[in-house]
Chains A and B, each alone.
Chain A
Amino acid sequence: MLEYRELTQLLEATIETLYMLGLSGLLTVILGIPLGIMLFLTDKGQLLENSTLNRIIGLIVNVFRSIPFIILIVLIMPLTRVIVGTTIGPTAATVPLIIGATPFFARLVETALREVNKGVVEAAISMGANVFQIIWKVYLPEALPSILSGITVTLVALIGYSAMAGVVGGGGLGNMAIVYGYQMYNTPVMLSTTFVILLLVIFIQFLGDFLARKIDKK
């Protein structure tokens, strides 16, 4: 069983993880949606077709997607220090989390937009809609259920990433599991942190699926 001290620690670690998740999730969505829109709209045959821009954005996204996260954390430490002032702690951990998750989420947004019925977009063009109106009134609302599923997948991935970030001093549940559980041979701590992480994943997945189903009118 966990001792009282360990319980409060677990609670603190959970709050830290939720903080990392909330902050990095929010920023990933805010950055990833426009990036996904640009990836999609600059592609061949789309409204803002621009093969140079499309290739540049695609390249950046692919590079960051293929760097293993644990290496990304170390690679961008100088940047983290510039932005946050330190490379230790949950706030510092959100920098690699955002940089790791945004390209991943942007690809999901791109896929969601690609699934929007072309005929509906064409109808909007035939009514005299401009590009901004088509993005705002057609693409985003029509793709919203898929984008929401993408947010769910990204948050679940972020939980995994944040545990990894914990290992290199990011704090949160991952940090607790490694430092107090693994390195101090404390099996109850190891198991309880894992259990909380599992609960988080299940809860986010459930909520995401529920909301996506609720707003999907197809």
Chain B
Amino acid sequence: MIKLNNVQKIYDNNKQRVTALKNINLEIKSGEIYGIIGYSGAGKSTLIRLINMLENPTAGEIWVNGQRMDRLNNEKLRLARQKIGMIFQNFNLLSSRTVRQNIAFPLEIAGYPKEKIDKRVSELIKLVGLTERADAYPSELSGGQKQRVGIARALANNPEVLLSDEATSALDPKTTESILNLLWEINRKFGITIILITHEMHVIKKICHRVAVIDGGEIVEEGPVTEVFGNPKKEITKEFVKQVPVLSGND
């Protein structure tokens, strides 16, 4: 379970102060796919990056599986992060490593022996359907294939949580569809909690159980997807509902 209590985040460079998150309270159950939707600059990335402490909260508490993340020392935080996978809009693969070596990376970090790494990597390559491309470099892959590598890499250490920061935003509709299907399958098969942020309504509609709408650093509406979008209360939620579905259901 993930819990954020009264979380606030202010970016304070010596030039300017930006209040990115005002007062966030959030509870995400184990095994659910939780969507966070909002416009650019709303604070989505900040919110998701607080969960694995890529950003420090200015105030409040962050709990992941009973651990108070913002109170861990460096060593404990590194161990906790090994159980929280993350995927990115720009994939962030190592350009100097092949598909296989990229997926092996988090296992090397965690210090597994080579035979174990090889075995696990082969499993993962199969899971994401990249057996044919195992020895290719990222520069030789399509966007969808790169994100599959990103997903395999994020799953390598058997995480309990998967964080997805606009993971399909750089992809075309059809590829987006296949990546969302893969995430959905992973959630069902392994029961991994997925937190997914996006500015696209159809992504939420397709795979999320619950959703939070974030605007100006605040959660303005929250609940099961069907309820929030079936009966939108806030203006911004209504705007998202009005977004025409980009995908037809024929592939």
Contact = CB atoms under 8 A, between A and B. Distances in A.
Contact of B82 (A122, A127, A215): A127
A23 to B, nearest CB: 29
Please provide the 9 A-B residue pairs with the shortest distance between their CB atoms, ordered closest to farther.
Answer: A128-B81, A119-B92, A123-B92, A128-B78, A128-B82, A217-B137, A127-B106, A141-B96, A126-B86
Interface string A182-218: 0000000000000000000000000000000001011
A138 interface: yes
B93 interface: yes
Nearest to B97: A141
Interface string B191-212: 0000000000000000000000
Contact of B95 (A123, A126, A218): A218
Given A120-B95, A218-B95, 10 more contacts: A119-B90, A123-B93, A126-B54, A127-B81, A127-B82, A127-B153, A141-B94, A215-B96, A217-B95, A217-B139
Contacts of B93: 120, 123
Kindly state the interface size class of chain B when it binds its partner: 20 to 34
Contacts of B52: 126
B127 interface: no
A123 B163 CA distance: 12
Interface residues of A, number: 21
Interface of A: 117, 119-120, 122-130, 133, 137-138, 141-142, 144, 215, 217-218
A122 B94 contact: no
B109 A138 contact: no
